[in-house]
Amino acid sequence: MAIKIGLEIHCRLNTKSKLFCSCSTNSQEKEPNKETCPICLGLPGYKPLLNKSAVEYLIKMGLAFNCNISEESYFSRKTYFYPDMSKNFQITQYEIPIATNGNIHINDNEIRIKRIHLEEDPARIVYANGSISTTKYVLIDYNRAGAPLAELVTEPDIKSPKEARLLLEKISSVLDYLGIYDPSKEASIRVDANISSDGERVEIKNITGFENVEKALSYEEIRQKGMSRMNKKIERETRHFDETTKMTTAMRKKEYEEDYGYIFDPDLPLINIDKNWVEKIKSSMPELPEKRAQRMATQYSIDQYDANVIVYTGRDFADFFESCIKKLNKPKEISKWMINYLLKSLNWRSERISNSKVTVDRFIEFIELIDNNTITERFGKELIKEFVDSGDSPKGLVGKISTQTKPLNEVINNIIIENPKAFDEFKLGKKEALQFLIGKVLNATGKRSDPKEIVNILNSMLEK
């Protein structure tokens, strides 16, 4: 039984001010309801004024995903009654979105993009003392209300929950390269996922986190197939994904488009998008991830897989790589250490390279220590953790560690005294005893010593 999945992806655009007023979008650390005005609070008598940057960002997004850009577009009022929208309607685009009929490829599957349009973000609902199903009351924070959202709607071409996650990761990467969203901001991407396996489709509302999207869809796929096997009817409804239980629960019967009563918003004018404006925006767009990864693999003679990891980790990570190449033309060695060790240390700290203490000059200094055999690779794997933590000079860290470390002969001698049985077995030629002693020495030196040197010293001790 094949499933069909379509996504409605809401991306918060990284403009300085909100979509229809001058309130700042940088309100993440501010007291609730402080970054508001009569327009984003929906008070009567106040007129919205469209943010031009938001329109340009959405045109960039449409061009990146091979969409047609409409010559004219306008805003409508989507009527619904919910506490996150005080005026009881949302200003959005319905009849004529800015971008239509695009596509994006995930492996061999072409996923069609139906539309990309602009709309205002609702307020943030806070479920006090519980979750949506257990809370006794809710609080509303209007700091987020009115922030510009780009909504990308796919056709139901996605074939699996895993493919949905890959699609989101690819879209996120493109948006990062375009510089039109900030993944560090709260709820920078939220997803409504539609899934059907046999009959009516079910919508899972407001999922945050790409992993959670995959888990929500996986659970819903199993639930729907189970209902079909029991000959139970799958009803059109909206469900909620609980991040704790990893299950979906029914919220309400799913509305149809006509239930929202869309009407043209008389407070906002028609948006005219001429071809010269589109061409100007197109000429300012950066090299996008797919092309950059292909170029880097060819230009620097690195594996395509390595180029993809570097590029799709983030624009700042790829920029860092290419800046390193300009300082030291050893792309394979730089990519190896960036992918296998630098990235691990950054992920452990939940940092992007642009927010870390690591600089290009210091990282090149680190690579040269290994390249010149000043330190072993094994030592480098440990040193890079301290380097990422502190941002200090790798040479300085090596000198500091060296003054604190006992000579290797002394360390090995102490290990032998503490483990005489293992040394006796090593004398008899037992490989397990040798590996045991090497492990003990490596632990004692913080994995900074070279196993070959340890073996040489042990063998010289045998000769004596």
Do residues 154 and 168 lie in contact, with contact meaning Cβ atoms separated by under 8 Å? no
Q: Provide the token pair at 448.
A: 């900074």
Burial class (CB in 10 A: 0-12, 13-18, 19+), 207: buried
The DSSP string of 56-125 is HHHHHHHHHTTPEEPSEE--EEEE---TT-TTSEEEE--SS-SEEEEEEEETTEEEEEEEEEEEE--PEE
Residues comprising the chain, all counted: 464
Residue 151: strand pairing partners: 10, 117
Domains contained in the chain, CATH given: 4-281 (no CATH), 289-404 (no CATH), 408-463 (1.10.10)
Question: What is the per-residue pLDDT across 184-228, written as a single tens digit (0 to 9) for each?
Answer: 776 689 999 999 987 778 999 989 999 999 999 999 999 988 888
Residue-averaged pLDDT of the chain:
89
**Do 347 and 385 meet the contact criterion of CB atoms below 8 Å apart?**
no
**Choice between 451 and 147, residue whose per-residue pLDDT is larger:** 147
Enter the tokens of residue 391.
Answer: 């941002």
User: Beta strand pairing status for 76-79 and 263-264?
Assistant: antiparallel
pLDDT (tens digit per residue) in 269-296 = 999 999 999 999 999 999 999 999 999 9
Q: Is the whole-model pTM more than 0.85?
A: no
In the predicted structure, residue 255 carries a pLDDT above the cut 70: no
Looking at residue 40, its amino acid is C
Q: Which of 303-307, 348-352, 405-409 has the lowest mean pLDDT?
A: 405-409
Burial class (CB in 10 A: 0-12, 13-18, 19+), 155: middle
How high is the pLDDT of residue 298? 97
CB neighbours (10 Å) of residue 409? Answer: 11
Q: What is the C-alpha to C-alpha distance for residues 35 and 26, in angstroms, rounded to an integer?
A: 9
pLDDT tens digits, 20-52: 999 999 887 789 999 999 999 989 889 999 999
pLDDT confidence of residue 74: 95
pLDDT exceeds cutoff 60 at 403: no
pLDDT of residue 7: 97
